[in-house]
Structure 1
Amino acid sequence: MIGIVVVSHSRALADAAVGLASEMVAEDKRPVIAVAAGLDATTFGTDAMAVSEALAAADSPDGVLVLLDLGSAVLSAEMALEFVDPSVADHVRLSSAPLVEGLVAAVVTASTGASLDAVVTEAERGLVGKQDHLGDTPTVEAEPVVEPDRSLEIVVSNEHGLHARPAARLVGLVNGFDAAVTLTNLDTGKGPVDAGSLSMVATLIAQQGHRVCVGASGRQASEALEAIETLAAAGFGDEPAPDVRSSTAGGSGLDVAIGPAVLVGSGVDVSGYVAGDNELGRLEQALETAGEQLRVLRDTTPEHGDIFVAHLALLGDRKVLDDVRASIAGGASAPAAWQQVYDDLAATFEGLDDAYQRERAQDVRAVRDRVLRVLVGASEDAPADGILVVPELDAATAATLDATRIAGIAVRAAGTTGHGVIVARSRGIPLITGIGDVDVRPGATIAFDARTGTFEVAPDEEHVRATIAERQVERDRAVAQADEHAITRDGRTIDVLVNVGVVQDAVDARGADGSGLVRTEVLFGDRRTAPTVDEQVEAFRAIAQALGNKPITIRTWDIGGDKPLPFLPQAKEANPFLGERGLRVFRRRPELLRDQLEAIRRVAAETPVHVMFPMVTTADEVAWALDELGPRDGLEVGIMVEVPAAALRVATLAKDLDFVSIGTNDLTQYTTAADRTNTAVASLADGLDPAVLQLIDHVVRNAGVRVAVCGDLASDPQAAVLLAALGVTELSAVGPQVPLVKARLRQSDLSQVDTAAVLRARDADQVRGLL
């Protein structure tokens, strides 16, 4: 195996490049890599004597490849050849290949035992993949490939496609067989390319979900195809760690709080930072420290580990880091360069059409501030003993708060899908969002009631504490009586079920009469490949068993550009909320729906199961879905009513159905033309808007079948009473709210609810007043 020498002006740069390349192959297959970089650990420069020592260390009878960065590195390497024994110098090759990309390609190719010439060729092709992707003219032409005499089709399941590590595993595998293997990206038409060349594989730009044709010829063609198929099925060795979830909340779980204000600013004060002569070194150290902090958070909060994995990815984004380093090289201090680049990245996210992606700007700013705190030596003590008031809530803060000491969190920004909000609510911490720019001084007594949407400075403390006591008693009593039926005072029985995204939701549910919504796209959302029928059967069966084999309603895949499935990538849409969502997607990929329907049928033979199709607009869509389902064999079938068109024509849509379930989140958004995650219009997206309620009333009166609600309104005890009064007979709520919804219904006389007045109300606020 050849040896490799890396010559660079920067020790940190060389070590980082070697570290990156070394991750591409197993330790026992790596070539010897020697480094001659910097005059010392922190001083830039090159030394011919150090290069000659590195050549001696990497010497191999098969040859030595030398990769260099720029300028004097070339001169030092040439001079070093004069210092070493001529027998060594004779098989040393200096290459103009790009340092980082060339090193990765060289290490992967050398690990297969390739010749020096072959390794040099691959190293010099290092830029081809990037050039091809960006539309530049490649500097190296692809060599002709052998026509295969057998082939198979695989699907790329990796989240980031065939990026460096999985591609390196594939190349290493291919080069171990006596066979010529080619790859063709069937979704983009790129290829065929030599599967034994890392740089050529990169030109495929094979992303998650892409279909790749693998062709092979030669003595071991069959064995090579079989091995590649196995590697692809295992995600090219790049599958995520198993999802571990915690059901421990920690907080009170109430929706009301009072306490002194604990203000946390929106940024880090860098005004006292004094730049030195090694800003790049300071940045690298800060990145290492911040990375260790995030790894600790990832490992100690497994239920939210995926969030911190995303933060680690942001921290190590090579394109962004290159921009930061370039800014430092231009004279900027490390904090200034870091802050500017990450501010620009956050602005990019905030300019996206997708509301969920816009909220990812919070994650960018969280990573920005973490590194800035390390650079300036600021502490990161978690606040406690009060109500935290923040411009926006990042996941790290939410995960590290002492939930037994923090009274609550008040977030100035609107939005309910930010990672920090999700983490805080999962831990049972009282929280309100969208309080705006209200003036709050540190230490001032503040209070909020998320149920009524009120936030107060200097509140009536006695009144608030009385409310808290009442809510606590209410919750304790509701939990104690959770298993009792929800029978109203006027004798109507309302089924209260639980929304399920993971099996643990069903395990934790108290008092649920079953599940009115199994979110299959969440249940299998961490998968990089589509789950098999057997895997889906196992998950559905586990949910049913956790709920005592009470009825469960399984919603078929509900995805779209705003909430993609990892194993079913979609083209970017200008407005994903109005694009291919829900059932619409599967009219072009029916095989995934058919597998899911088969799994549902199998479970339905064992326990009561209903199936529900999402994002239905037309009768033709319903007919198509029923045709795909085939014979019902006692299986109850329904649709989601999420768009005004479906609500208005529900009599036509429900003609051959057993039930409909209203998704109030989307119905509200589409009716009010307001994105509830957009601060500017979030207040308009109110499920109690009379226009939304009128549509719900229309559905109940005209559907001719059982009507359920599984959106957020069903989780609001006050709204649940109104829905029941309108004629809804089944409510599916989030787990912690099930006991409270049932308790409120038991206290209610639905005949006394003036639904006519509610439907005539001026706005949502007047509706609340009437309730």
Structure 2
Amino acid sequence: MIGIVVVSHSRALAEAAVGLASEMVSEGDRPVIEIAAGLDETTFGTDAAAVAEAIGAADSADGVLVLLDLGSAVLSAEMALEFVDPEVAERVKLSSAPLVEGLVAAVVTASTGAPLDAVLEEASRGLAGKQDHLGDGPAATQAVVASDNFVEVAVGNEHGLHARPAAKVVGLARRFDARVTLTNLTTGRGPVDAGSLSMVATLNAQQGHRLRVGASGPEAQDALAAISALAERDFDDVPAAQAARPSVGQSKSGSGLDVAIGPAIVADRDVDLAGYRAGENEQQRMQDARRASEEQLRTLRDQTAKTVGDAEAAIFDAQLALLDDSVVLDSVAEEIGGGANAPRAWKSALDALASSFEGLDDPYQRERAQDVRSVRDRVLRALVGAAEPVSADAGVLVVRELDAATAAAVDAERITGIAVRAAGTTGHGVIVARSRGIPLITGIGEVEVPPGALVGFDARAGSFVVNPDANVFRTAIRERTAERETALADAEQPAVTVDGQTIQVFANVGSVQDAADARGADGSGLVRTEVLFGDRQVAPTVEEQVEAFRAIAAALGGKPITIRTWDIGGDKPLPFLAQGKEANPFLGQRGIRVFRRRPELLRDQLRAICQVALETPVQLMFPMVTTAEEVAWALAELADIGSSGWGVKVGIMVEVPAAALRISSLAEGLDFVSIGTNDLTQYTTAADRGNSAVAPLADGLDPAVLQLIDRVVREVPAGVEVAVCGDLASDPAAAVLLAGLGIRELSAVGPQVPVIKSRLRRTDLTEAAKTAAHALTLTSATAVRDLLDRSQAE
């Protein structure tokens, strides 16, 4: 093990720094640390002879690291090297690392038996975590540490290295006798310690980014091979949509509805720390609370694996990794060493880490801050002896955020629903709750909810009510239960309205499994090819695409499928197609715009689509179209591959207001257009649906959005069909409204297809058209929802 020498002008400063660093590791693992500080106990200064003596005392065959404070300390250390034996001097390294942070990092790293160069590197990065958090460090210009042992891997999973896959990387890196680092080559961030979950999070590694994995030490090659294999498996990350789907034969403990009523069980308060009294050994209290929390999380993980599924259980592995994160624990120990009590130190460290997650670019990764706060509160409860926040009472649980532990632990036979104040639909708690079939609504805001008050919510209508009319909600529950049962029984029957009009109801799919799960779908109105091939590190060949499209068609029984060409950019990168960083990617290179510079990738996809069209009914759809010139270019590319006579119908997506406003010329010569209400809403309202601060503005029932849909239906050229494939088509009430506007083809998420078809069978299109015309004149999405509620009740 290496030795360490601390050179400082102040003996008191040096002794305090050594005392703090020594707390980070057990005595048996601690390296030799010598001090050369001050001219005496009270006089400031440095002495080269004292430094030489300290180096001799700390000397080891593995080397000596010298840490210094400032000015003459450097000169004294350099002179000291002339006093010691030349053989000793050769194995001494002077470090410019910050004294306190560098010493802490050096002691912790040296305790693992790391070589001198690795300890020097870690000490030099002592400020990295603090700089990254405060945004004043040189993260963007950090150089990759030179090493003969490295590999490059791609991040292919949907949401990058968020908590669960990051935890797998950390756990794997710790298994080997090697020093493993990660560098995000796409953004320039890093290198960071691959054994620290909090440091891995600072890489902000998203889908499509490339990482450099470096390793040194006896098992460096084994570590690189293992992490490369993990990356090839997309870090064993299960997509959120798949994670939320119960396994075959898996029972749901909730009702599976989107409406609930019951007395409010309010659990949205912070852990009360007011009564905590510090003791003599706060470090030990902290460790005891951490170990108790680990046991609780392991129990939750095992229970979740049995009752919900392995994908959901893996969420708790990420939380367990946080409890064993060296960077977090070092920060806590440092604060306690500085006089803070255990709860204050733990809260400070985890709050800082949560803020780091919230500063990441990807909305999905930002929501991982919920997991950090969940772990924070679990340990705080253990420290103060507080009970778990969820009681055994029956009713509607009201929480500020829904963490996975709460969602997994609640008794779904007693908890009739969960209301979450925070917006967001991709949090781990939301995934677990939906997997269990628990009625759920998010984004209820700061409405006052007295404990025990009767509350009800209707997630379909987006409403949460305190002291509601109980009969209204109980009626809704009975009706929707019956509706779901009837819908499933009649799923394969066509959706024919009361007045005899058939509405085609298709399914949006991103995988063969999605297609297989789409009971009753008349086909697929949207095959998301960027999702279907989103795990690929290299572009799929024509043959591979043909095979995938055939499999989807087979899963749908040979029914028609509409294949959207590559729709990437913004929040949808592809690993095999690198894109430069853009200041505003949603207004940048998206959809068809990208392939003006990479037409060969589009041509391969067009060949595959046309080949499948010889075997099954296929429509081809180009995304993110704005101008007629883009349409002409796309059609020319299709013509160049000799597509005539292959029976492919061709259309475009209407996702931007400009396309809707010029639809009469834009759709000239096409077979169909499909309105993507997600992006159309986002661009019309200038509100990012992933940003909780403005997400309520991005409502597809906003009359401005409906007016654009109405314009497309009325002004599209004769013979051109109009479909809707956005989320609006998955809302039963909105589906009726769309039919009233003249839409005759809807494409919804698979599980909603039977319900949509059932609702349309009870629809009189003459009345639906009147309701739609009225909706166009209203002033808000709320007013439209009220209108739909009244129309349904009549």
- Residue 94 of structure 1, CA deviation: 6.9
Q: 1:528 and 1:331 mapped to 2: Cα distance?
A: 51
Counterpart of 1:646 (choices 632, 636, 659) is 659
Q: In structure 2, do the counterparts of structure 1 residues 99 and 240 end up closer, same or farther at CA, with 3 Å as the change threshold?
A: farther
Conserved? CA contact 1:707–1:729, under 8 Å: yes
Match of 1:366? 374
5+ residue gaps, structure 1, are 17-33, 40-59, 72-88, 111-118, 147-151, 175-182, 194-201, 215-225
Q: Distance in 2 between matches of 1:187 and 1:394?
A: 31
CA contact (8 A) 1:154 1:213 kept: yes
RMSD over aligned CA atoms reads 5.1
Q: Are the structure 2 counterparts of residues 520 and 287 from structure 1 closer, same or farther at C-alpha, using a change threshold of 3 Å?
A: farther
Give the corresponding residue for 2:762: 747
- Residues 564-609 of structure 1 show CA distances to partners (whole Å, capped at 9, x for unaligned) of 4566665554444333333334445556555655554555454334
Measure the CA separation in 1 of the matches of 2:349 and 2:184.
34
Select which of 717, 723, 727 maps to 1:708.
723
Measured after TM superposition, the shift of residue 387 of structure 1 is 0.8
- In the TM superposition, what whole-angstrom CA distance separates every residue of 1:384-411 from its partner, at most 9, and x where no partner exists? 5211111232233223333343211122
The alpha carbon displacement at 1:229 in A equals 12
Identity %: 58
Which residue does 1:57 correspond to in 2? Answer: none
Question: Separation in 2 of the partners of 1:430 and 1:308?
Answer: 22
Please name the residue that 2:621 is paired with.
612
Using structure 1 for the length normalisation, give the TM-score.
Answer: 0.72
**1:492 equivalenced with 2:501 (yes/no):** yes
Match of 2:433 among 424, 445, 448: 424
Q: How does 1:132-531 map to 2 (within 5 A)?
A: 135=138, 156-157=154-155, 209=208, 234=229, 239-241=234-236, 243=238, 245=243, 246-247=245-246, 248=250, 249-291=252-294, 293-294=296-297, 300=305, 301-304=309-312, 307-308=315-316, 311=319, 320-347=328-355, 359-380=367-388, 382-383=390-391, 385-525=394-534, 527=535, 529-530=537-538
Code of the residue aligned with 1:334 in structure 2: it is: A
SS in 2 for 1:661: strand
What amino acid is aligned across from residue 260 of structure 2 in structure 1?
A
Q: Which residue of 1 aligns with 2:752?
A: 737
- Following TM superposition, by how much is the alpha carbon of 1:702 offset from its aligned partner in structure 2, in angstroms? 2.6
TM-score by length of 2: 0.70
CA distance in structure 2 between the aligned counterparts of 1:317 and 1:568, rounded to whole angstroms:
34
Whole-Å Cα distance in 2 between the matches of residues 261 and 322 of structure 1?
A: 40
- The alignment partner of 1:265 has SS state of coil
* Mapped pair 1:543 → 2:552: yes
Amino acid aligned to 2:236: A
172 and 469 in structure 1: CA distance in 2 versus 1, 3 angstrom threshold: closer
- What SS does the corresponding residue of 1:268 show, helix, strand or coil? coil
Deviation at 1:495, TM superposition (A): 1.0
Q: Distance in 2 between matches of 1:719 and 1:139?
A: 51
CA shift, 1:720, in A, is 0.9
1:660 paired residue among 658, 673, 678? 673
Could you tell me which runs of 5 or more consecutive residues in structure 2 were left unpaired when the two chains were aligned. Answer: 6-17, 34-59, 70-86, 96-101, 192-199, 214-220
Aligned residues: 669
| Residue 295 (structure 1) shift | 5.6
Say whether the 8 Å CA contact 1:187–1:210 is kept in structure 2. yes
Pairwise CA distance, 1:136: 9.5
Q: Is the 8 A contact 2:264 2:449 kept in 1?
A: yes
Tell me the amino acid that sits aligned with residue 658 of structure 2: A
Q: CA 1:213/1:740 → structure 2, altered by over 3 Å: closer, same or farther?
A: closer
TM-fit CA distance, 1:745: 0.9
Report the 3-state secondary structure (helix = DSSP H, G, I; strand = E; otherwise coil) of the residue aligned with 2:473. helix
- Of 784, 788, 793, 1:767 maps to 784
Distance apart, 1:187 and its partner CA = 6.7
**Counterparts of 2:171 and 2:605, CA distance in 1:** 32
After alignment, is 479-488 or 439-448 more displaced?
439-448
Alpha carbons of structure 1 residues 718 and 400: separation in structure 2 relative to 1, 3 Å: same
CA contact (8 A) 1:289 1:374 kept: yes
Change (3 A) 1:90 1:280: same
The superposition leaves residues 99-122 of structure 1 with CA deviations (integer Å, 9 ceiling, x where unpaired) of 787799999999xxxxxxxx5456
| Other structure's SS at 1:707 match | strand
Residue of 684, 690, 707 corresponding to 1:694: 707
8 Å CA contact 1:239, 1:528 repeated in 2: no
Match of 2:29 in 1: 35
Counterparts of 1:107 and 1:662 in 2: how far apart (Å)? 60
Q: Decide which of 724, 741, 749 is 1:726's aligned counterpart.
A: 741
Q: Does structure 2 retain, via aligned residues, the 8 Å contact 1:154–1:232?
A: no
In structure 2, distance between residues paired with 1:13 and 1:229? 28
SS at match of 1:240: helix
